[in-house]
Amino acid sequence: MSNLILDSLEIRNFRGLKELRIEKLGRVNLIVGKNNVGKTSVLEALRLYANPGHYETLIELLQVRDLLEVQTVQEESIRRLLPYTELFYSENRSVWLENDLQIKIGNHGLESSTLTVSFPSNEEVVASGLYEYGYYLKCEYDGEKFACPLWEMGTSQLNAFYQFAIHRGFKLPSKRFEIARIDAGGLPPDLDGVYWDRIALTEREDYVIFGLRLISSSVDRLILKPVNERAKKRVPFVKLSGQTSPVSLKSLGDGMSRVFGIVLSLVNAQGGFCLIDEYENGLHYSVQSAIWQLVFNLASRLNIQVFATTHSYDCIRAFQEAAKESAEEGILIGLVQKKGRLFVGEYDEEELGVAVEAQIEVRG
């Protein structure tokens, strides 16, 4: 447990989370709660924490909530103001340039490992020399500072901004920790091919096959290939025992696709974070315990810290069964909104076992 990236978590002023404090984290963490309580926002905050000052990550966080239409930015396009204010907590949705408002993400009580995100003051903009580009988003982590432009930019424009910022004492965007994710609807577009190419023909490919065999023991091999000669996107196909031709993984059911996405994300997160939103989607309750056991095993073997979300009682029970068998600690985190305040409860394996056996609703 000593090599966890985060052994606690504090999030302030991010999305709908005014203040969230989780005192204890484990190797594998399952976040439960009703819809719109902030479970997915926790995962998004971790993405920001792992990539301080990363322009592309910020863009993705806007796109995922339909705050920015998905399009390719052209070099000569008209500049468009990025709605970064939507990332900040605000009761009245009015955030613009409130310089005293900061997003904070990191270990509770450990300022050196806390990421802060804010808008600079007028004085800071002038002192930075970046006034030519207008206001910018300021990120600070471990004594280093990063600047992100407030305007949508093409590649050459963004590179010019970064080069100018470097001369003014800012750092290039930083990837602090490896991070891989699977969203509620599956792997993000085009990431399946990227993730697969990273682990193809390695031991980590075998883990993916092992995971698929938890649902269908007849899986022999897997490959990603275009569905036809004209298609650019590659999709997974599997070779089944006794069959001469490969079949689309998707044709074997949602459970197979979900397991593929979960395990493929895990093996791409070595030494960092794996984020799984709505873990149970597409998975029959009878296989969830075995898949959780694989999650615990890979998290330990590859030194990954896992954060998953659910609102399924079957998922909680399966998590408890797997945590009981694992040497690594599993923590269940209950989030509850009461009278406008967010309450948090943490449960280790023993406490969770008592709650599950008694069929007690897990609360904050």
**Helix, coil or strand: residue 221:** strand
Q: How far, rounded to the nearest angstrom, does the alpha carbon of residue 54 sit from its chain's CA centroid? A: 14
Q: What are phi and psi of 112, to 5 degrees?
A: -65, -25
Per-residue model confidence (pLDDT) at position 226: 85
Give the pLDDT band of residue 357 (cuts 50, 70, 90).
low
| C-alpha to C-alpha distance for 179 and 164, rounded to whole angstroms | 28
Share of the chain above pLDDT 90, in %: 64
Per-residue pLDDT for 268 more than 80? yes
**Higher per-residue pLDDT: 194 or 69:** 194
Residue-wise pLDDT tens digits, 287-307: 999 999 999 999 999 999 999
Per-residue model confidence (pLDDT) at position 181: 96
Per-residue model confidence (pLDDT) at position 35: 87
pLDDT, mean over the chain: 88
Written as one letter, the residue type at 72 is T
Give the pLDDT band of residue 139 (cuts 50, 70, 90).
very high
* Residue 123 DSSP code: H
Domain 179-357 is found in CATH 3.40.190.170: no
pTM greater than the 0.75 cutoff:
yes
Mean pLDDT to the nearest integer, 164-190: 91
Parts of the chain belonging to CATH 3.40.50.300: 179-357
Worst-scoring range by mean pLDDT, 85-89, 207-211, 266-270? 85-89
Per-residue model confidence (pLDDT) at position 360: 47
Mean pLDDT to the nearest integer, 270-280: 97
Mean pLDDT to the nearest integer, 215-229: 89
Per-residue model confidence (pLDDT) at position 232: 77
For residue 252, CA distances in Å to 95, 246, 302 come to 47, 11, 28
Written as one letter, the residue type at 354 is V
**Helix, coil or strand: residue 274:** strand
Residue-wise pLDDT tens digits, 188-197: 877 889 999 9
Helix 254-267 / helix 203-213 crossing angle, nearest 10 deg:
150
